[in-house]
């Protein structure tokens, strides 16, 4: 047991003097979210308790053993509390301003005001900012909760906001889902620390946080990123192919590699209006997907890059960062390649150098461990699928044909299949194929690869076959005829 004394105790602040509620640092060392304790030994309803489950178990064991005076380290530290925290008077006009800024819908005004009224009736502060325990980058707000439950054993919950990760946490809600306590905590910070709201908004993916007309909770899952269902992936793939094509001739200042090149640390989609909605709805503020993305270059790896996405609060369309004009190609929001590296891989493949050897060369040259050769290959093929190639190759037998990158030394072309493994063509196959349709399907497969964890999960996977039969929501698959 830790010896609690005037010189060694947990920091604590009183947040509700009338009900004897305190916010106490969870542990002696390190930073952590503070927890609630209650020591009320006056009036008719007396109560002494700590909301930490481990402390509750220890206290129950001590009481069953006859040690009625036992108290945990958090309760004993309260004896040395000398200050109390005040609760600001939250105004309704601040809520209206938040609705105007599209932080949440109009119906949340009544929800927050009703909770404020209920807190006054119970003689409890609605929200109190705790300044103990947590690191400076985290804001912890103790919010009144009228119902006693597993997450509010003392009638309060501790909502935290991480200013570095732009993320909210409440013990009553699942990750990245909104709740009443978060609404109140945002109301508190919006009124007392408005500059926080001028930065990128939180990573919560609940649509009702950003639209004027609130959605039902059942609709929140539509904005999950990266998309999981085939229609959502297809919508993103079609939009990227339509609007994010890389020109066949890249400007020289983007083609050349430079050791001193500085990349942006926050990669945010440039779209501000939805291109799918007829009335061009305003998109949500950027939402951070990860802060650990990596940019692969010919001179090494740039780490700790933040990637963001946006979504339309009306139709749920998702928008990914994909801006080639910044000399970057985004594969899957975790791995990005700069354009000089993509062009280097293309040139080395055309002189019959396998991707695994290219990665080995980069690691030996830079002294940095790169992702696996498969990851680099998928990222490169993603780049080629988005490039607007100028088709100048033709065969005397087959006629016009899209340009191909010779990859025989790596994996027998991008199909992972040898020619000898192909089944014989059906007897009724006359050799007529729709090459444009086939390459379009193959391009969609490559782009969709950036949204799935593996090729087997890719809903747009293209099998290599002679027949016109196919599935996966396509009308047909065209045959692939191999040029000798």
Q: Are 293 and 307 in contact (CB under 8 A)?
A: yes
Query: Can you list the positions of beta strands (E) in 282-334?
Result: 287-297, 300-311, 318-320, 328-330
pLDDT value of residue 151: 86
Per-residue tokens: 194: 């408005």
Per-residue tokens: 475: 């009308």
User: In the chain, helix, strand, coil percent, each to 5?
Assistant: 35, 20, 50
For 208-211, the CB contacts below 8 A with 24+ separation are 208/104, 208/105, 208/108, 208/178, 209/103, 209/104, 209/178, 210/102, 210/103, 210/104, 210/284, 210/285, 210/313, 211/102, 211/105, 211/313, 211/314
d(CA 309, CA 289): 7
Task: Give the residue among 256, 332, 319 at the shortest CA–CA distance from 292.
Answer: 332
**Judging by DSSP bridges, how do beta strands 287-297 and 335-338 pair with one another?**
parallel
d(CA 191, CA 173): 23
For the CA atoms of 186, 190, 191, 194, the dihedral, rounded to the nearest 10 degrees, stands at 150
pLDDT value of residue 412: 42
pLDDT value of residue 383: 93
pLDDT value of residue 394: 67
d(CA 33, CA 160): 8
> Measuring CA to CA, how many Å separate 433 from each of 399, 415, 426, 466, 479?
12, 18, 14, 9, 6
Q: Are 318 and 309 in contact (CB under 8 A)?
A: yes
pLDDT value of residue 431: 65
What sections of 72-203 are H helices per DSSP? 73-77, 92-100, 107-121, 180-192
- Angle at 324 (CA atoms; ends 319, 325), nearest 5 degrees: 115
Residues of the chain with pLDDT under 70: 1-2, 29-31, 174-176, 198-223, 258-260, 391-425, 429-431, 433, 463-484
Residue 438: which residues within 8 A CB-CB, separation 6 or more? 462, 477, 478, 479, 480
Q: Are 443 and 234 in contact (CB under 8 A)?
A: no
Instruction: Give backbone dihedrals phi and psi of 141, rounded to 5 degrees, phi first.
Output: -120, 125
CA 157 to chain centre: 25
- Angle at 243 (CA atoms; ends 282, 207), nearest 5 degrees: 30
pLDDT value of residue 8: 81
d(CA 310, CA 286): 5
* C-alpha dihedral sign at 219, 220, 225, 228: negative
pLDDT value of residue 116: 92
d(CA 405, CA 391): 13
Instruction: Give backbone dihedrals phi and psi of 49, rounded to 5 degrees, phi first.
Output: -160, 160
d(CA 434, CA 446): 19
Which pLDDT tens digit goes with each residue over 197-213?
765 454 554 433 333 22
Q: Sketch the domain layout of the chain as residue ranges.
A: 12-80, 92-219, 222-345
To which H or E segment does residue 156 belong?
A: strand 156-162
Mean pLDDT rounded to a whole number for the chain: 79
């Amino acid at each position: 047991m830790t010896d609690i004394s005037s010189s060694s105790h947990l920091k604590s602040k009183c947040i509700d003097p009338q009900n004897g509620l305190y916010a106490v640092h969870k542990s002696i060392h390190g930073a952590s979210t503070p927890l609630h304790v209650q020591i009320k030994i006056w009036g008719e309803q007396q109560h002494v308790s700590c909301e930490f489950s481990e402390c509750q178990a220890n206290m129950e064991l001590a009481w069953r053993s006859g040690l009625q005076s036992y108290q945990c380290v958090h309760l004993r530290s309260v004896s040395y509390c000398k200050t109390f925290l005040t609760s600001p008077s939250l105004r309704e006009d601040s809520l209206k301003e938040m609705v105007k800024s599209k932080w949440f819908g109009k119906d949340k005004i009544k929800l927050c005001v009703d909770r404020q009224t209920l807190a006054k009736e119970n003689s409890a502060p609605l929200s109190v900012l705790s300044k103990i325990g947590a690191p400076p980058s985290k804001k912890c707000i103790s919010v009144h909760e009228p119902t006693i439950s597993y997450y509010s054993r003392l009638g309060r919950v501790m909502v935290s906001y991480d200013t570095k990760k732009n993320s909210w946490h409440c013990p009553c809600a699942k990750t990245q889902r909104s709740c009443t306590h978060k609404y109140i905590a945002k109301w508190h910070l919006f009124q007392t620390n408005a500059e926080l709201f001028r930065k990128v908004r939180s990573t919560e993916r609940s649509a009702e946080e950003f639209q004027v007309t609130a959605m039902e909770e059942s609709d929140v899952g539509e904005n999950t990123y990266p998309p999981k269902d085939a229609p959502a992936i297809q919508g993103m793939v079609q939009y990227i192919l339509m609007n994010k094509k890389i020109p066949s001739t890249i400007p020289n200042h983007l083609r050349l590699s430079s050791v001193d090149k500085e990349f942006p640390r926050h990669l945010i989609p440039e779209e501000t209006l939805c291109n799918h909605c007829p009335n061009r709805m305003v998109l949500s503020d950027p939402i951070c997907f990860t802060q650990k993305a990596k940019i692969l270059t010919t001179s090494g790896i740039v780490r700790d890059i933040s990637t963001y996405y946006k979504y339309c609060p009306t139709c749920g369309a998702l928008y990914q960062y994909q801006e080639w004009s910044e000399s970057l190609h985004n594969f899957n929001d975790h791995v990005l390649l700069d354009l000089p590296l993509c062009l280097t891989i293309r040139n080395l493949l055309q002189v019959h150098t396998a991707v695994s050897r290219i990665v080995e060369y980069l690691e030996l040259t830079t002294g940095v461990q790169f992702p696996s050769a498969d990851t680099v290959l998928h990222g490169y093929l993603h780049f080629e699928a988005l490039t607007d190639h100028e088709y100048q190759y033709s065969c005397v037998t087959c006629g016009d044909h899209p340009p191909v990158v010779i990859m025989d030394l790596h994996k027998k072309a991008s199909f992972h299949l040898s020619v000898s493994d192909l089944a014989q063509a059906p007897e009724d196959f006359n050799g007529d194929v729709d090459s444009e349709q086939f390459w379009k399907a193959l391009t969609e497969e490559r782009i969709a690869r950036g949204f799935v964890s593996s090729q087997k999960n890719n809903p747009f996977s293209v099998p290599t076959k002679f027949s016109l039969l196919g599935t996966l929501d396509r009308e047909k698959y065209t045959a692939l005829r191999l040029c000798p």
